[in-house]
Structure 1
Amino acid sequence: MAKVATQLVGALEELLGARIPLRVRAWDGSEAGAPEAPLVVLRNRRAVRHLIWQPGELGLARAYVSGDLDLAPESDLYEVLHAVAAFTEQQEASGQHLGLKDITGPEGRRLLAAALRTGALGLQPAPPPEEARQQGRLHSRGRDRQAISHHYDVGNDFYELVLGSSMVYSCAYWEPAARSLEAAQAAKLDLICRKLGLRPGMRLLDVGCGWGSMALHAAQHYGVEVVGVSISTEQVAYARKRVADAGLADRIDIRLQDYREIPDGPFDAISSIGMAEHVGSSEYLTYASGLLGLLAPGGRLLNHQISRRPNRQGQPHVQSAFIDRYVFPDGELSPVGSTVSLIEEAGFEVRDVESLREHYALTLREWVANLEANWAQAVRLVGSGRARVWRLYMAACALAFEENRIGINQVLAVRTEQSGRSGLPATREQWLARPTASELGRSGKAAGTAA
């Protein structure tokens, strides 16, 4: 009888009409596939069952998260993901969409027969427990809390391992002088403060404040009063402790609060960093309009948001099944043009759009390196399955940014005054200027110079 890997790979390639871009080692030790390709390991028959019952991205993800499918020690995760993404794109371009109907139809009979002969055919395995199970109306406040908790309330100690001491969970800004992740994250926070034109005495709202890094930076280096809101209980507890430890509780108010429930505008500036991806396209105009209503005339909004490429003509957009089930439940990405249009429809004047796509790729590779360097501790903190989820999603996203499949943009918008005045200086260099030493000194509130 032919070895397990030979049977399965041969039948799969016949079904797909193409050579798969990987080499496969089965549970019996046999190998098949492209000789020079990265090697993946089917540790048991359940790995094949995941793929038969849920062909494509979700089945692969379930097999990997559960540990039934793994990389060989000598294989590079980025190389594997790049090969799979390129192969998937080629298949889609040629009209191939592998699904359960294909496998159970006439063309898939050889694959099912191979699975039967090798003992891999069986009942559908239960999804790994790390898979989200959302309840309630999409983007209702209760369901949004579930989605945010699924991703962010997994343990602050785990996030410290991944993000490092900066505790910033969005792309860094890799200036030439930035020699570390922490320095690059400080540079990003400072760039946002400068785009917002923060000055001592202003009132800043930080929507989706995370672990409090933006609030702390703005208060310490720009002398502003800050309200930070998040619906993650663990983030809020962590941010409040950081604020108290910094002696800034009189100037920073961290709240467990939905952005739709903020009662005490107006603010002079609003930052929204990596939060709008959770809003959803159906709620985006409500989000933008709500922020406009919280801004004083002449106030600025900095919206820092991941984007996707526009759909090809005639093709619907398909959300990533892995990201939706395991990483960001109910999260939605839109093209940057759609985001800008909705922000303007809400009543803002958009003044600047800056892409930081390559910066996010570098940042994600740093996070992956942090996770891999502390892998044993990460597994102790959150379990093998969740650690695998984070490793897979961060590495896959790093490649997606590098290959221009997704982007990241900072959109600066203004609530213009009734007269039409924006309040912005004439040139970009002027409105990016930091406060002068005399401005900071007169306020008596800045705890240091800008990073």
Structure 2
Amino acid sequence: MADAAPRLLELAEHALSTPFPLRLRAWDGSEAGPSGAPVLVVRGRRALRRLMWRPGELGLARAWVAGDLDVDGDLYEALDLLSGLFWERGADGSGAGRAETLRDLAAMLRDPATYRLLRSGLALAGPGLPPPPPHEEARRRTGIAHTRRRDKAAVAHHYDVGNDFYELVLGPSMVYSCALWPEPGTTLEQAQYAKLDLVCRKLGLREGRRLLDVGCGWGSMVLHAAEHYGVQATGITLSVEQAAYARKRIADAGLADRIEIRVQDYRDVRDGPYDAISSIGMAEHVGSDRYLEYARTLHALLKPGGRLLNHQIGRRPVRDEQAYRIDEFIDRYVFPDGELAPIGATVSRLEEAGFEVRDVEALREHYARTLRAWVGNLEDRWDDAAAVTTEGRARVWRLYMAASAVSFERNRIGVNQVLAVRAEAGGGSGMPATRSAWLS
């Protein structure tokens, strides 16, 4: 009889101590669970072996990337429903909650009913060693996090997957950060233009000023600033592929005399002072232990009165910051060694480094819409995206971007632009006293 799905549903609901919100479809064609809900498709026994050998987020992630699990129906709805099961674990940062039951195998074995279900799960999974992780997973890291060498390797894992892939996902703007959507009919390209222009205006850029763009990506910010505001711009990145792409764009635009792209760590920049620094979507790679060093380094690179625009994803604060656990899927497959901090911690570190924080603007809803646009691009060009990288890598990106969109929509993470200034002699900022004045 085809009965794998009902047995899987019973296992899931017992382990999670709550009704499972998705419908299950197993490899034998059986289905179980609420009708009308998105369907979690379990393609084979290997998915169960992954979960048996590595219960929790990482086992689920490996099964998804390998194609052992899939969703039939609205992916965003499915992720939203599933996040309700696992969000309690991260809500206070302690690692406690329903999902922890999956890891407490000793307690499971002491309960007769759970022991019976576990044996049923083992029978369903079938014999075999733990399946190897999909090769898209980051290599095992050793040593101290956020050294120059380890940061370069982490950036290479995420960004050196092929510029052709990023072109398909990001579109012609090649901007990999939250866009600004001023009105409903705005296109992705228009929204990214609006964001770059907002950054330029916040920084007070004008003809002849020097701009440093930290984590310059494919050169979009420096190109916009040089073309529309007449600055002399330097962009730095740790990605060799990004740098090559950016240099070609700059040469094609005839702006090579006004823009320089370097493969360089921010800690090694020595040619200050700059009038302005933009850091857009880069600070998430710095790490909490290095953040004060990052802030002090940028402060030292600015002239008095110089401005910093720090555009950074942030998480909600938790009761016990020491117990906060980085998401395993993100750490293994997306941003190795990436860390999110609450906005309050970011502002405090910038101020501790000597900056005066002048403005904080939240763009949370804008990032959700940006991510949905990127997912749409990926889904529309799925075969091409898989061809220029791998099917597994495309699956990583689809899951990570869709799940991130849900997290922004549900206010579990946010993104903020912090405008800060290095004080002039006497402590002044040199800035107008109102936002409307310095945005004009």
Distance 2:88 2:353 in 1: 39
1:216 is aligned, of 209, 217, 223, to 223
| TM superposition shift of 1:227 | 0.6
1:80 is aligned, of 78, 81, 94, to 78
Q: SS at 2:276's partner residue?
A: strand
Pair 1:22–1:91, CA change in 2 (3 A): farther
Give the gaps of 5 or more residues in structure 1: 434-451
Runs of 4+ aligned structure 1 residues displaced above 4 Å come to 90-94
Answer yes or no: is 1:117 the counterpart of 2:123: yes
1:275 is aligned, of 263, 268, 282, to 282
Verify the 8 A CA contact 2:138 2:157 in the aligned structure 1: yes
| TM superposition shift of 1:412 | 0.3
Q: What does residue 132 of structure 1 align with?
A: 138
Answer yes or no: is 1:101 the counterpart of 2:104: yes
Greater Cα offset, 85-94 or 217-226: 85-94
Q: What does residue 35 of structure 1 align with?
A: 35
Distance 1:320 1:40 in 2: 21
The count of corresponding residues between Structure 1 and Structure 2 is: 431
Greater Cα offset, 17-26 or 152-161: 17-26
Q: What does residue 343 of structure 2 align with?
A: 336
Pair 1:110–1:314, CA change in 2 (3 A): farther
1:386 is aligned, of 393, 400, 403, to 393
| TM superposition shift of 1:112 | 2.5
Q: What does residue 444 of structure 1 align with?
A: none
Equivalent residues in 2 for 1:13-92, closer than 5 Å = 13-72=13-72, 75-89=73-87
Verify the 8 A CA contact 1:54 1:99 in the aligned structure 2: no
| TM superposition shift of 1:91 | 7.1
The one-letter code matched in structure 1 to 2:84 is A
Distance 2:408 2:62 in 1: 23
Equivalent residues in 2 for 1:306-385, closer than 5 Å = 306-312=313-319, 316-385=323-392
Distance 1:419 1:314 in 2: 37
Q: What does residue 228 of structure 1 align with?
A: 235
Q: What does residue 245 of structure 2 align with?
A: 238
| TM superposition shift of 1:135 | 3.7
Q: SS at 1:35's partner residue?
A: coil
| TM superposition shift of 1:316 | 2.7
| TM superposition shift of 1:99 | 3.2
Give the TM-score of the pair, scaled to structure 2. Answer: 0.95
Give the TM-score of the pair, scaled to structure 1. Answer: 0.92
Answer yes or no: is 1:176 the counterpart of 2:179: no
| TM superposition shift of 1:116 | 3.3
The one-letter code matched in structure 1 to 2:85 is F
Q: SS at 1:250's partner residue?
A: coil
Greater Cα offset, 27-36 or 55-64: 27-36
Q: SS at 1:192's partner residue?
A: helix
Q: What does residue 425 of structure 2 align with?
A: 418
Distance 1:314 1:100 in 2: 22
Give the gaps of 5 or more residues in structure 2: none
| TM superposition shift of 1:106 | 2.9
Verify the 8 A CA contact 2:302 2:422 in the aligned structure 1: yes
Distance 1:276 1:240 in 2: 23
**1:236-294 deviation per Cα after TM superposition (whole angstroms, max 9, x unaligned):** 00000000001111100000111000110000000000000000000000000000000
Distance 2:232 2:161 in 1: 29
Verify the 8 A CA contact 1:11 1:110 in the aligned structure 2: no
Superposed CA RMSD in Å reads 1.7
Distance 1:412 1:36 in 2: 47
Distance 2:196 2:14 in 1: 52
Q: What does residue 443 of structure 1 align with?
A: none
Q: SS at 1:168's partner residue?
A: coil
Distance 1:177 1:222 in 2: 27
Q: What does residue 449 of structure 1 align with?
A: none
| TM superposition shift of 1:8 | 2.2
Answer yes or no: is 1:429 the counterpart of 2:436: yes
| TM superposition shift of 1:314 | 8.2
| TM superposition shift of 1:3 | 1.0
2:311 is aligned, of 301, 304, 310, to 304
